[in-house]
Amino acid sequence: MDAQLDEKALESTLAESLDDLAPDTKTVSEDEFAEVVGGALEAVGGTLLFKMRVENGENGEHVAAACIGDAGNRQFLLLTLPTSGGALKVETAARSTNPVAGIAAAYAGLMDAFKTAA
């Protein structure tokens, strides 16, 4: 995959690969979310950085951060899915307004430092 993919093209490619993977159930479990995210990232050669469940009042959502590419050509993605079900939203961390998006690059940097230290 070309490391210089335009952000909208990347988001679009991931969204298309998700059409068949989104769970049909009302409540989405952690395992279902992990399966959907794993399938989407496999389709584009991405790497999962972390995933979490975020509660926002009565509305919760599953959130995952991922990256595509390596070193200076890395792009960070944020994948979100309401716990009540619905469509998986995929966006680049740079374009996202979700507060979790800012953690993605910092987390990847931390993992890079751990690899260097090991």
CB proximity list for 106: less than 8 A, separation 6 or greater: none
Residue 69 vs residues 37, 96, 109, 116: alpha-carbon distances, Å: 17, 19, 14, 18
Local structure of residue 17 (DSSP, 8 states) = H
Please report whether residue 2 resides in a domain. Answer: no
The answer to whether residue 39 sits within a structural domain is: yes
Place of tokens 């009565």: 58
Structure tokens at 101: 């998006």
Show the domain range for 52.
Answer: 7-117
Q: What is the pLDDT of residues 98-113, one digit of tens each?
A: 989 989 888 888 887 8
Return the higher-pLDDT residue of 105 and 23: 105
In a domain, 16, yes or no: yes
3 pLDDT higher than 60: no
Residue 1 lies in a domain: no
Percent of the chain with pLDDT over 90: 29
Kindly report the CATH number assigned to the domain that includes residue 109. Answer: 3.30.1300
In a domain, 28, yes or no: yes
Residue 65 is assigned to a structural domain of this protein: yes
Q: Which residue has the higher pLDDT, 53 or 11?
A: 53
pLDDT the model gives residue 107: 86
Quote the longest CA-to-CA distance of the chain.
Answer: 44
Predicted model pTM: 0.73
Q: Domains in the chain: how many in total?
A: 1
